[in-house]
Structure 1
Amino acid sequence: MSAIKDLQDFFEEILHLSYIQALLSWDQEVNMQNYKSLEGRSKQVALLEKLIHKRVTSEKVGQLIKEAEQLPNLNEFEKAMLREITRDYNLATKLPEKLVTEIAETSILASKDWREARAKNDFSIFEKVLEKTVELQKEKAEKLDTHPDPYSTLIDLYEPGATYDWIANIFNPIKPKLINFVKKLNSSPDKPNDSIFSKQYDQDKQYALSVEILKKLNFDFSAGRQDIVVHPFTTTLAPMDTRITTRTTEPFPDSITGTIHECGHAFYEMGINKEFHNTLLCSGTSFGIHESQSRMWENFVG
């Protein structure tokens, strides 16, 4: 068996661990309303993060990467998989296990304070854990040290190859034009009647409508589902098991636009080539590309 096949098999197990972790996080957001249970859940997620980190940073992975790099005639799929595995390995080996698990545990516990702060409209409730989260991310950026500035280091984790300056060069020239455009819209006397969007509607009916919209969009309910949460998100728990969420407690449009937005994310996940299933290629190319798909469905179709 070749080193590339060994790597593929080894990382398939790692991927399954990450799917289990995603399932715990999905269950936390959808079903766990009892804040007392979050401490136990945070320990479970942190343990999985620890196991994943140990496997990714193992000497076995480092050795297999070296052997795979010497293999001749790798096809495009194998080259891409080796590239992603090498990237994961190089990044993970820079991070201490303690930091990785602390970030995972803090992230789960932070959701309690965030929900409470949101419900009471009181930022001070969330402030302390947010400060801790920021400090942990600063430490993470310092350990990774892939770019001259920490923000670019963190951006690169979500948009490989991107930097703060690169993004600023895109948005800075259009910022004043967008501001002027919004001012013109706000000052225009020609305004549509949008009062329907500020009304409150029965939450059960909102959800029923969102399901009908998903059916019209051909969302595959045999490979996914929709649930209600505080803040909408999409997660994949296995190939062909993509969960989306929406909320119905806001003014009317949010439940609809949220559903269509998350459906766009799901379409991207569900549309990934089946040959990539159970490999590191079975995910979005980048967060930017992923978000572009959800925005396309929300803004242009919705």
Structure 2
Amino acid sequence: MVSAIKKFMVDKLGFNPRLSLIIPFLVFAAFFIITPLIFIAIKAFSPISQVENGDVIVYDNYNLITSPELWLIILRSIWTGLVAAIFALIVAIPYSYVVARSTSSIFRFSSISLIISPLFILTLVRILALRGVSTAISGNEILLNNEFFLIIGMVYLYLPFAIIPLYSVFIDMPKNIVNSSTDLGNNYFQTFIKVIIPYAIKAILSGFVLIFLLSATSVGISQKLLPNVAQTQLVGNTIDVLAKPSNIFKVASASNIVVIVLILMTTAYICIYFIPRLIMKRRGFKNV
């Protein structure tokens, strides 16, 4: 019976049996990704009213969206996320390349373990440890209350997410690619720009997007890392403050902000990840 159904689905309906492997993910996505987003959208676009002294007062859900302070926070989140992603790649690309091309297995194992091991420590503990060490070095906690220190914290927390995909690409890169480039007269810097970077462009873009999204939408970094969170607030903190179940008006405002941030981050993801790949494909690069 089962084989007959399978044959009917394959021969008559053209169903690929391998597609059944994504069914668990589709079920998970339907319950834990799509359904929450639908509820957030409904909460964001549904008008909220309250009766006071016999009068019906309609709450303006979009009042906070027009606030210049909110857009300043969103722009700060995007700015710090972009800078943190750039700094992380500046560190991750040469580090992962040197480690991957090393002939010593002990050096490769210890170097990757040094990067992966902090992931087993609670993020909050790592943030507080970085704040404590930085305070001891600077001698004044107030000096840490700036965007530069916030970016350092983002790079420190999310650097492994850039190194791991780059290392997995560089470890399998054929050595004759670099040798062929040097035989054609390119120096090491030209080889790095013309050969190594295009070869790992997928991992570079993936790491950049991942660190950007994690940094721009972070909640705990600015709350626990900076002495005065109100001075350098990110959009994740704003949503966290407003999303209190006891206040339906603030929940509605938080839902609106979530929708805006989702649109902005999706647009940024398309611009950062797909547009460079499209440009490189049109220029003849095949490894994209």
TM-score relative to the length of structure 2: 0.27
Of structures 1 and 2, the one with the larger relative CO (CA 8 A, separation 6+) is 2
TM-score, normalising length from structure 1?
A: 0.26
Structure with bigger helix share is 2
